[in-house]
Chains A and B, each alone.
Chain A
Amino acid sequence: MRTLIPTATSLFAALGILTAAPVIYPHQVLNAASYHAPGLPAGSIAQGSIFSIFGTGLGPAQPAQQGSFPLTPTFQGVSIQVTQKTTVVNAIPLYVADGQINALMPSNTPLGWVSLRVTFNNVKSNPSPVFIVRDSPGIFTLTGTGLGPAAIQNVVSATERPLNSNQASAKPGQVVVLYATGLGPISAPDINAPPVGNVSTPVEVWVAGIPATIAYSGRSPCCSGLDEVDFVVPSNAPAGCWVPVYLRTSHATVSNFTSIAIDPSGGACSDPSNSVASSIVNGGSLGLLSLNRIAIHEDVGVNAPVDIINDYVAFTATSNPSGPFGFAPFLSLPPPGACTSYQGIGDFLQSGSVPQASVRSLDGGKQLSIKGPSSQQSVTTVGNASVLGSYLPLYSIPNRLVLAPGAYTVQTNGGADVASFSASITVPGALTWSNRDQTTLINRAQPLTLNWSGAPEGQPVVIMGVGSLLPLNSSAVFVCVARAGATSFVVPPEVLAAMPASPPNPLSTKNVIFLMTSSPTPFSAQGLSLGLAAGGYITGKTVTFQ
């Protein structure tokens, strides 16, 4: 399975920029499976784990990989020094390239802050501070982003273990093997093939929020630093193409949220709850058009509560490649009743983005004409969305909102890939978040119950929490899908645990929970295999994650 490592990271290799001396980029010493940013709950590096270093000039132009035991601390001219005061250990380079190194953090690395430097051809890099912990799990993914389909084998027999994919689902009750890293140190030398046996670290697995029975959690005998967790897919796990799977170690640290395809047939998965699933699994061109009103109740870090409302129009058109591991963040939603989580670089509420495997943007035009009950407006979109109007009830600022609940028609001018089209959209009214004002200080170790009323009949409510840790330029988000007709949802603590704790300084963080509903309608346009238009009313509130 070691081949997964360069596979998963090859997308990043192209990021390297040739320079003379090795340079480690800021905050770019990461768990090699999850790529969780430092500062996020699973963003530290575990003893005995595989980690990645991103930068430039870190290694040879031609990537190389250690292929035999015992592993050596210097490989292709690359060595890695890890220093804490007078203690120095050498991390073991496993895969070296100009823009990336994958390496093994020795099991005897001192805990706490260490300073890591790469030496390539006798030239030292800049130091990079790294926080070492005993365990910090990351699940390898087949998208190479730390999100989406996990590196999982369905155990059919002792010799038949196909990779789990949207064409080869796991059956409820079936044993599967999940590959990860960061379960904790071992006592045997890391340079040799690891011994078989459970690590001492307590490990838990959830599938769609359902605890799974674990048969084995320890090193994979093939590879240093590579852990495998053998578990039974819960018999009551829901079917779907992107059923959330995640780990927790020591009852404390939650891994990246990945997915597994589950179907009673064991064959191709289906996701009847998600109509865009076919475009992601089978490929195709997808157009998404929406009119949204987003109202946020701000009562954290402000002098007095205030409600800020913005009206947006959003239009995206993408071409999604087909493939057994197709996945698109925010489109490959979990089954109703379940939650998933994404992490990434940047401030998600301003300029950050969730890592995503390649999809091609289509030109569907930038000019949109929106005609509503009492207004008509033409806009040129910037990026995926544009603001239509805003209201801040302070300082006598005039109300410039335009998306009152009602029926709207949106006309596009078309572009090189997608022809002009017209779509009808109904913007719904707000739902009532009945315990909104009580949802302020969120204890991540406790379940979070959210109650509401007024959701349109038959429509589920989606809950999303966003947390941005500005000083570390990283963010996390959780997304839960309530079942249609539900009026409450309990976000489990293991999902909340993926969110970064809010630092004391409110300038350093932004945390918001959103509840949202929608009213979708399909539309047709030349150049799109699927078009969906929807209006939404999104209710948000600032919170603090404790």
Chain B
Amino acid sequence: MNRTRTFAFFLLTILSPAAVFAQGIPIDTVKNFVDWWNNTFGWHESIATLTCKNGMYFWVTYVIFNNGTATDIPVKVTPTGMPCECKVGGGTNALGLQQSSLSSNALSILLPREGSCFSFDTMGIDENIPGQSASGSLGSWGSGWGQPLLGSDDSAKMEPQAAKPRAAPPRAFTFTEPFRQLPAGVLLNTVSAEIPWVCNSGVNPTMFRVDHTGNVVSRYNMCTAAKIATIPVQELPLQVRVTPDGTQAIVASFNNGITFIDTATNTVTKLLQGAPGTSPSGIAITPDGTYALVTNYDQNPNSYLTIVDIAGKKIDGKIQLDTDFPQSVFISPDGTLAWVTFPWNNVVEVIDILSGTLVQFYRNILQPESVAFNPTGTVAFVSAASSSSVAVIDTKTYSIIKTIPAGAGATDLQVSPDGNFVYVNNSAAKSITVINTQTLTGTTSTLDGIPQGSVLVPAQ
């Protein structure tokens, strides 16, 4: 008997069951550990990287950026080298707080940007790359507290003022290596409680952050949280991105500067400047690493995207925009479209990069801050800070599938590498929302601190 026929079963098993692979387990809350950390280090930035149970270190996926001064990330190094101590076994920690319940699905840590909150002049941005010479990038934006009060209904109604509004740092993140969704990943029928944190020293992830008023970009080792470099850049840096090959970081500075940093040496290799008054704000790099797009945060006719030839380290042209004050730009996974946010005008525009043509626009998303995409680019998520929500957009039809409630000041967005979850920082509400992308429902957990900025950090 020939058995060739039966292989069809296997093929169908592997390739067909979408729902099976879509099962994931959300990281439902990290509140308690974050709160504990905030209570301990509440006067400055907070970072939550570990929790403990039964004498083991467990994975915690969030870092909270508390209001305070722009100091180094606080680190309490334990004898194990981990940036916190295992406080207690069992279900509560030393402060009597319930332990976080975490899942296995997201092999990542969310980390915040560093910088000052509540300062109209201080903005920050983080950019993470794995290792000194490894590729990959994580980018984030800074505070946004110079904006009209997040979560205020009034802020949504504000019109552009005659005076040029300050470039508010958007909150966007990209990541490349070394995250990976494991094909046919494990599916747990029952949620396993916590996942232990393992610092991936083999990857040795690092992060760049922008110090807006200090005019520097700092680089941190994400395992030890130690600052490993401080790099002076053009005045008023706002956003930083790392090229897909990990060799360069590029910084947009509001005071007319686009700075190239060699990530192998942490030194500036090039400064591009435009005409006087040019005000770079947001930056995005195409997936192939060929070009960077930089928003020029100004009124028309000076509202445009600058096209930067990365290999040549030169400005290669611009794409004119028809709305004032473009803040941030996000490139679709296929590299064809630029989604530009104009939070000052409650506008999002989608630009065909090749032709510079406006493809689609939205004028009903209140204070759009960030855009993130699922891995296949079929869905876009747009955070709306003033309406405390996240718009889910079908990128085929550009229709808004659903508006998911989040919290006041919904800003930073992160999509898990498997595309099953979207993490939302709600700055004004002091909360985070985890959106299940299969059910398009969100779960919000309140925090003591103010979450601002997040990046994904590899583990395993």
Q: Which residues of A contact B (CB under 8 A)?
A: 17, 23, 25-27, 39, 83, 113, 115, 126-129, 272-277, 288-290, 292, 294, 296, 298, 300-304, 306, 308-310, 312, 314, 316, 330-331, 333, 336, 346-354, 382-387, 389-392, 394-398, 400, 458-460, 462, 464, 466, 470-473, 477, 479, 481, 484, 503-508, 510, 512, 514, 516, 518-520, 532, 534, 536, 538, 540, 542
Contact = CB atoms under 8 A, between A and B. Distances in A.
B276 to A, nearest CB: 30
Contacts of A514: 10, 14
B395 interface: yes
Per CB-CB distance, the 7 closest pairs between chain A and chain B, nearest first, are: A290-B9, A471-B333, A520-B6, A301-B180, A392-B186, A385-B17, A351-B18
25 contacts: A26-B377, A26-B396, A127-B355, A275-B4, A289-B9, A302-B180, A303-B460, A314-B12, A348-B15, A349-B184, A353-B16, A383-B18, A385-B17, A387-B187, A460-B4, A462-B10, A504-B177, A505-B177, A505-B287, A506-B179, A507-B375, A508-B333, A514-B14, A520-B1, A520-B6
Contacts of B333: 470-472, 508
Interface stretch (B42-50, B189-197, B295-303, B384-392): B189-197
Given A348-B15, A382-B20, A459 B3 contact: yes
Interface bracket on B: 35 or more
Interface string B116-135: 00000000000000000001
A126 B15 contact: no
B17 A386 contact: yes
B202 to A, nearest CB: 5
B352 A294 contact: no
Contacts of A330: 8, 11-12, 15
B455 to A, nearest CB: 14
Interface of B: 1-23, 56, 59, 104, 135-136, 175-190, 192, 195-196, 200, 202-203, 244-245, 287, 333-336, 352-355, 357, 359-360, 375-378, 395-397, 417-419, 458-460
Nearest to B18: A351
A536 B10 contact: yes
B6 A303 contact: no
Contacts of B360: 126
A113 B354 contact: yes
Nearest to B358: A126
B3 A518 contact: yes
Given A26-B334, A397-B192, A350 B22 contact: yes
A298 B182 CA distance: 7
A507 B416 CA distance: 11
A462 B7 contact: yes
A304 B335 CA distance: 30
A507 B180 contact: yes
Contacts of B202: 303-304
Contacts, number: 282
Nearest to A300: B180
A304 B192 contact: no
A331 B359 CA distance: 41
B259 to A, nearest CB: 24
Nearest to A19: B397
A458 B376 CA distance: 41
Contacts of B104: 392, 395, 397
B180 A471 contact: no
Given A294-B13, A397-B104, A400-B188, A303 B4 contact: no
A395 B192 contact: yes
B13 A292 contact: yes
B354 A129 contact: yes
Contacts of B175: 507
A128 B396 CA distance: 12
Nearest to A329: B11
B16 A310 contact: no
A518 B18 contact: no
Contacts of A538: 10, 13-14
Name which of B11, B178, B203, B377 has the most chain A CB atoms within 10 A of its CB: B11
B189 A390 contact: yes
A122 B386 CA distance: 39
Contacts of A382: 17, 19-20
A186 to B, nearest CB: 27
Given A288-B12, A460-B2, A512-B184, 12 more contacts: A129-B353, A301-B178, A330-B8, A333-B8, A350-B418, A352-B15, A383-B16, A383-B18, A400-B188, A458-B1, A464-B11, A505-B287
Nearest to A456: B3
B196 A396 contact: yes
Contacts of A353: 15-16, 18
A351 B21 contact: yes
Contact of A390 (B10, B187, B336): B187
Contact of A464 (B3, B14, B56, B353): B14
B5 A312 contact: no
A503 B333 CA distance: 12
B266 to A, nearest CB: 22
Contacts of B417: 507
A310 B184 contact: yes
Contacts of B397: 17, 23
Contacts of B418: 350
Contacts of B459: 303
A539 to B, nearest CB: 11
A26 B186 CA distance: 32
A514 B12 CA distance: 13
A537 to B, nearest CB: 9
A179 to B, nearest CB: 28
B178 A303 contact: yes
B178 A506 contact: yes
B179 A507 contact: yes
A473 to B, nearest CB: 4
Name which of B59, B182, B195 has the most chain A CB atoms within 10 A of its CB: B182
Nearest to A288: B9
B21 to A, nearest CB: 5
B385 to A, nearest CB: 27
Contact of B181 (A312, A472, A510, A516): A510
B376 A470 contact: yes
